[in-house]
Structure 1
């Protein structure tokens, strides 16, 4: 029986840079940074403070998880910025947008009301895009 969802993969172009982005800019916490066998592979995970049961693993495309051709194609898609990697939930999208913008996070969409809440879209340092979402159950309906 499946009990929970625990780890999602974020494909990145550089693990050190990705770790700095997620920890230093977004404010997530480092959970692990361990060597994995030969060839310099590492197991790097981060997660939101207060949510210990969910982690993001920051992986560079390549063996053993991908063959060289697939890894190269995936790196090209990451660099092109066409991969969406998920949704981060916040209590105040506008305030978080301002905080993250001040830390150098690149937004491709400022906060806007949507049918499900207030949403802004940002990119990580590899080019993946994410939704920053304040669900309607947390939104003051009177706010623009």
Structure 2
């Protein structure tokens, strides 16, 4: 078994698409709108060469989410508690400079940690992400 996709909620799929492709440099994997499902849009992006893609999913309305659940999902996402995606890189400081120049909003600059160098950023929907240059990987028990 392999993980193929992981989903993150976004407020606006077009805005998210521009952020992930233009600022992070990801490529579009799939962008399909299904009229038979009420114009549901399946939109995935990924870093070049990655086997796993991110589904940029609009928070659904009725009938999947009633108004209260829709509001709760939006609120949680905007506070950064709805995502847990961690990216790794070979040179976190260089990527930090490149992405900052492209307008990516970092919540924390690169800092030394016991496992490597780590920083945090967010997307236009408020999702928080970690970007790490790992120097030490935990051994399995």
The yes-or-no answer on 1:8 pairing with 2:6 is: yes
Unaligned runs of 5+ in 1: 138-144
Map Cα deviations across residues 16-71 of structure 1 (whole Å, 9 max, x no partner): 011111111000100011012343320000011012x2111000111478322322
User: 3-state DSSP class of the match of 2:18?
Assistant: helix
Q: Is the 8 A contact 1:118 1:134 kept in 2?
A: yes
Higher deviation after alignment, 114-123 or 54-63: 54-63
Q: CA deviation at 1:83?
A: 3.1
Range with bigger deviation, 19-28 or 72-81: 72-81
Are 2:85 and 1:82 aligned? no
Q: Residues 17-32 of structure 1 correspond to what in structure 2 (within 5 A)?
A: 17-32=15-30
- 2 CA distance for matches of 1:29 and 1:129? 20
The answer to whether structure 1 residue 73 and structure 2 residue 72 are counterparts is yes
What residue number does 2:102 align with?
103
5+ residue gaps in structure 2?
A: 137-141
Q: Is the contact between residue 77 and residue 83 of structure 2 (CA under 8 Å) also seen in structure 1?
A: no
Distance 1:50 1:64, change over 3 A: farther
Cα distance in structure 2, aligned partners of 1:113 and 1:47: 26
TM-score, normalised to structure 1's length? 0.86
1:112 is matched with: 111
**TM-aligned CA deviation for residue 72 of structure 1:** 2.0
> Which residue is equivalent to 1:44?
43
Instruction: State the TM-score, normalizing by the size of structure 2.
Output: 0.88
